[in-house]
Amino acid sequence: MFWDSDVAKWLEAASLSLATHPDPQLEALVDEVIALVAQAQHADGYLNTWFTTVDPENQWKNLRDWHELYCAGHMIEAGAAHYEATGKRTLLDVVCRYVDHIASRFGPEPGQKRGYCGHPEIELALVKLYHATGEDRYLELSRYFVEERGRQPHYFDQEARERGDDPANFWARTYEYNQSHRPVREQHQVVGHAVRAMYLYTAMMDLAREYGDASLHETCEHLWRHLTTKRMYVTGGIGTSGQNEGFTSDYDLPNESAYAETCAAIGLIFWAQRLLQLDCQRRYADIMELALYNSVLSAISSDGQAFFYENPLESSGHHQRQPWFFCPCCPPNLARLFASLGEYIYAQSETDAVVHLYIQSTGKLAVAGQTVTLRQETNYPWDGTVTIQVNPEQPATFGLRLRIPGWCQSASVTVNGEAINLTDRLEQGYVRLERRWQPGDVVKLELAMPIERLSAHPEIKADQGQIALQRGPLIYCLEQCDQTEPLHRLVLPPAAALTSHFEPDLLGGVVVLRGTAAALDDADWADTLYRPDPPATRPTSITAIPYYAWANREPGAMQVWLPASA
């Protein structure tokens, strides 16, 4: 019953791809799929293949569990993306008719259902539809769905009784699962299903921006702090448990059983971007980058043919990527994120061009009343040298903001070879360069990338006495195939020297970390299972690879966290 959403995500990804890489064959296929979608639409605007062909008697009977509005949301996003990429209204007109149908069924007016989706998504999609069409009613419908959530009497209780079910039979046992346990402005902890939470918070930030709603913005700030200081993995992965595909309790972050769903990390990137749109603050972009390079990029194999649904931080070797899933939400979600990556690399205001992420690319921005083209050349994340050519159509005065990542302790900037004093130019973690820019001006950014040892908060039981390795935005891990000793015997003392090397023929070309660790020795443990004396150690060489690249070779153990002492 959620299949429509995956078709829609493919349509969105394909449309976004057409915007930057025109392809007549792909465009023809998109047009063919849109024609099929349009044929499935009812005369009254309703559009859902499951409730048309399989279960037509139960349309709009179970918003809590049955994904109708969720599927609608993804189709709306596809319609907006297709229109903006191609200028065609074929899918946009379909989704507008569907939204008009939805708006007639749901709302606060007499005769309407005061419902909302158990899986938030349509709320952020309606904001995109508002931007594509300029129709205020779509924005108002989004606000209704967000504001109605969690109000009493609880809609999910009412609809359960209407279909002859006892609300107490809800399998999740709590409406925290779908973030409807209380009205959104009264939610201060990140709970429940991780993907649902991220999509809801993204919509809340969209509405905070559109309506100038300081209360919604403040709520999201509280939720962000709670997530990033108590419930997030070192990789940027979120969601501890497979039982609810989401959160458990503060500091409960086990490694081998980590769920860390790919779609949740993608949703975290969506939310971070929306926070950045209202507050160009480094802490949001740092997490956006962390999730992108680690918990998102790990989800796809190096050949692009297999995927992770869950992204654990430790494995015995049995967790491997799959070509597809019964619930295939993650692969098309990855496709649409990668196809829209420019929206996360760059941002703009009337006065400033902003670079959030350092990725070789060209971006065209509307700043100072004209198009400003930024061209990044870089080998990031393997080294911290980034060259940006600034090309306004005409000489103009505006600001250029460049993020100095939180992991970077030393940075330098030059403009046309002239060193810039950063002391007075840093604003919330971004260096702001305001000048009269000429076509062809060149900015060079140097970010130091030493190897860092990370420790976990004392309340994270799973990681106590252990360290994780980071270089630049990348978290590293050890795979068994690179070591001569079993991973569970390795200890990395604090004083152990580590070096970084680029290996062009390994995993598509990666920087690896090498050093000497200690391995627990079992040579004198014959016929002994326990004894007062600890095992001796012997030196052994270790190699660490970027976490995102694990499980691309022969199956074997992997771990991110290493004991720091025997």
Residue 520 in contact with residue 285, Cβ under 8 Å?
no
- Residues 6 or more apart in contact with residue 9 via CB below 8 angstroms: 74, 77, 78, 329, 332, 333, 335, 336
- Compute CA 5 distance to the chain's CA centroid, rounded to the nearest angstrom: 18
Please tell me the distance from the alpha carbon of residue 473 to that of residue 378, in angstroms, as a whole number: 14
Give the full edge-to-edge strand order of the sheet including 441-447: 361-367, 370-378, 385-392, 441-447, 411-415, 418-420
Give the full edge-to-edge strand order of the sheet including 426-427: 346-348, 352-355, 396-403, 430-437, 426-427
- Compute CA 519 distance to the chain's CA centroid, rounded to the nearest angstrom: 37
- Residues 6 or more apart in contact with residue 504 via CB below 8 angstroms: none
Beta bridge partners, 533, equal none
Please tell me the distance from the alpha carbon of residue 190 to that of residue 194, in angstroms, as a whole number: 8
Which single residue is written with the structure tokens 């709302």?
107
Residue 184 in contact with residue 105, Cβ under 8 Å?
no
Is residue 381 reached through a cis peptide bond, with omega within 30 degrees of 0 on the bond before it? yes
**DSSP, residue by residue, 379-442:** -TTSS-EEEEEEEESS-EEEEEEEE--TT-S-EEEEETTEEE--TTTEETTEEEEEEEE-TTEE
Active site residue 330: no
Determine phi and psi for 255, rounding to 5 degrees: -95, -50
Count CB atoms within 10 A of the CB of residue 216.
Answer: 23
What is the crossing angle of helices 3-20 and 330-339, to 10°? 20
**Tokens linked to 327:** 């619930």
| Candidates 245, 261, 289, 314; catalytic one | 245
Active site residue 329: yes
**Tokens linked to 545:** 């690879």
| Candidates 220, 329, 330, 408; catalytic one | 329
User: What do you get for the CA distance between the two ends of the chain, in Å?
Assistant: 52
Residue 80 in contact with residue 128, Cβ under 8 Å?
yes
Query: What sign does the dihedral 481-483-486-492 (CA atoms) show?
Result: negative
**Tokens linked to 149:** 């959530």
Residue 271 in contact with residue 201, Cβ under 8 Å?
yes
Please tell me the distance from the alpha carbon of residue 495 to that of residue 516, in angstroms, as a whole number: 10
Numbers of helices and strands, H then E, in the chain: 14, 21
Please tell me the distance from the alpha carbon of residue 517 to that of residue 286, in angstroms, as a whole number: 30
Q: Where are the alpha helices (DSSP H) in 240-345?
A: 262-278, 282-290, 330-339, 342-345
Catalytic residues: 245, 329
